[in-house]
Chain A
Amino acid sequence: MSGIAWPAFLLLAQLVALLVLLVSVTQNLLYFTLMLIALWAMASRPPARRTRALWSELVDLAPSLSVIVPAYNEELTIEESVRALLALQYPDFEVIVVNDGSTDATLERLKSRFALEPEEVAGTGPLPHAPCRRVYRSASNPALRVIDKENGGKADALNAGINLAEGELYCAADADSLLEADSLLRAVQPFVEGGEQTVAVGGTVRVANGCRVRGGRVVEVRLPNRFLALLQTIEYMRAFTMARLAFERFGALFIISGAFGIFRREAVLAVGGYDTATVGEDLELVLRLHRFLRERGRSYEIRFVPEPVCWTQVPESLPALARQRMRWHRGALESLAAHHRMIGRRRYGTPGWLGLSTLFLLDVLAPAVEAAGYVLMPFFWALGMLDTNFLLAWLALTFAFGIVVSIGSLVLEEMELRRVPRASHLALLALAAIAENFGYRQLNNFWRMAGHLAWLRGAGGWGRQTRRAFARA
Chain B
Amino acid sequence: MAAGDRFLDSVLWLVWQLTLLLVLLALLVLLVLVLRRLATELRGERRIREREAARRLILGRLHGDEAELDPAALHGLPAAFLIELIDELSQMVRGEGRERLAALGARLGLVDRLLRALRSWRPGVRAEAARRLAIYRSEKVTRALCAALSDATAGTRVAAAVALVDRDAAWSLLQSRARHDPALAGPTAFAFWQRLAELRPRAFTELFGEPCPPERRVLMLRAAGAAGLTNLVESIAAEAASADPAVRRAATMALLDLKHPLGLDALARMLSDPEPRLRADAVTAAARRRLVGLLGLVRACLEDPDATVRFRAGEAVRRLGGLHPAAFGGSPR
Contact = CB atoms under 8 A, between A and B. Distances in A.
B308 interface: yes
A123 interface: yes
Interface in A153-209: 163, 166, 192-195, 197
Given A123-B329, A126-B331, A396-B16, A426 B37 contact: yes
Contact of B332 (A44, A61, A123): A123
Contacts of A46: 124-125, 127-128, 155
Interface string B9-51: 1001101100110110011011001110110010000000000
Interface stretch (B69-77, B165-173, B206-214, B312-320): B312-320
Contacts of B280: 266
Interface string B293-331: 000000000000001101100110110000100011111
Contacts of B317: 122
Contacts of B9: 387, 389
A194 B186 CA distance: 8
Nearest to B313: A122
Interface in A399-456: 400-401, 403-404, 407-408, 410-411, 414-415, 422-423, 426-427, 430
B311 A411 contact: no
Interface in A28-79: 43-47, 50, 52-53, 56-57, 60-61
Contacts, number: 140
A124 B19 contact: no
B19 A126 contact: no
Interface residues of B, number: 54
Given A126-B332, A404-B19, A411 B318 contact: no
B84 A60 contact: no
Give chain B's interface secondary structure class.
Answer: helix
Contacts of A122: 311, 314-315, 317-318, 327-328
Given A47-B124, A120-B323, A195 B331 contact: no
Given A60-B226, A123-B332, A124-B331, A44 B37 contact: no
A53 B89 CA distance: 9
Contact of B15 (A120, A124, A193, A397): A397
A396 B20 contact: yes
Q: Is the interface of A mostly helix, strand, loop or mixed?
A: helix
A25 B127 CA distance: 38
A184 B138 CA distance: 37
B277 interface: yes
Interface in A333-370: none
Contacts of B23: 400-401, 403-404, 407
B187 A423 contact: no
The CB with the most chain A CB atoms within 10 A, among B9, B33, B123, is that of B33
B127 A121 contact: no
Give the interface centre of A195, A387, A393, A407 by most chain B CB atoms within 10 Å.
A393
A392 B18 CA distance: 12
B91 interface: yes
A395 B16 contact: yes
Nearest to A32: B22
A390 interface: yes
Given A47-B125, A126-B308, A411 B332 contact: no
A378 interface: no
A50 B80 CA distance: 14
A392 B12 contact: yes
Given A400-B23, A407-B30, A411-B29, A166 B16 contact: no
B19 A396 contact: yes
A53 B187 contact: no
A197 B30 contact: no
B333 interface: yes
Given A122-B327, A404-B19, A404-B23, A415 B33 contact: yes
A19 B104 CA distance: 65
A225 B280 CA distance: 51
Contacts of B84: 50
A126 B310 CA distance: 9
B21 to A, nearest CB: 10
A433 to B, nearest CB: 9
Contact of B27 (A25, A56, A197, A430): A430
25 contacts: A25-B15, A44-B122, A45-B124, A46-B124, A50-B88, A52-B88, A53-B87, A122-B317, A123-B311, A123-B332, A124-B331, A126-B311, A128-B331, A166-B315, A387-B12, A389-B12, A392-B12, A395-B16, A396-B15, A396-B19, A397-B15, A397-B19, A401-B19, A423-B35, A426-B33
